[in-house]
Amino acid sequence: MSIAALMLYWAEGNKSKKSVVQIGNLDYKILKIFLIFLRRICRVKEDKIILYVRLHHKFDASKAQKYWSDKLSLSLDQIRMYKHRDERSKFNKQWSQNGIAMLQFSNTELKKLFDKKIDSVYKGILKNERK
């Protein structure tokens, strides 16, 4: 298992769901690395991969959807756009006109493997620290 992809998941992933692997970021490069890992190493079926994009309601959803599709080599059907109207979020202070993306796929066994590998890496680091 790629240690880089595992560390990305550990740092940027949502680990609270038992059967869903999620990783989110504004930076497409982080998601791209994780997608390469999922596609090439884990052999995740393409139709299981979904990208959810949270976008300020004043930005162009079609433009953002195309951006993510191009950057991550995903079909437009794999990308779910939803706009938010959080009043605390000011239009002129948004970090990205393309929104924040959450890559997700469901696979209970792979999720368990990721969690087990993270635990193993953590314990290995602690063991070496004590020496």
Q: Where are the domains of the chain?
A: 3-130
Distances (CA, A) of 106 to 28, 31, 33, 48, 66: 21, 16, 18, 7, 24
Could you tell me whether strands 50-56 and 13-14 are parallel, antiparallel, or unpaired per DSSP bridges?
unpaired
- DSSP structure string for 15-37: --SSSEEEEEES-HHHHHHHHHI
Reading the chain (131 residues) residue by residue, the pLDDT tens digits are 588 888 888 888 888 888 889 999 999 999 999 999 999 999 999 999 999 999 988 889 999 999 999 999 999 999 999 887 665 555 455 567 899 999 999 989 989 998 899 899 888 888 877 66
39 Cβ neighbours under 8 A, 6+ residues apart: 46
* Residues 35 and 104: beta-carbon distance below 8 Å: no
pTM of the model: 0.82
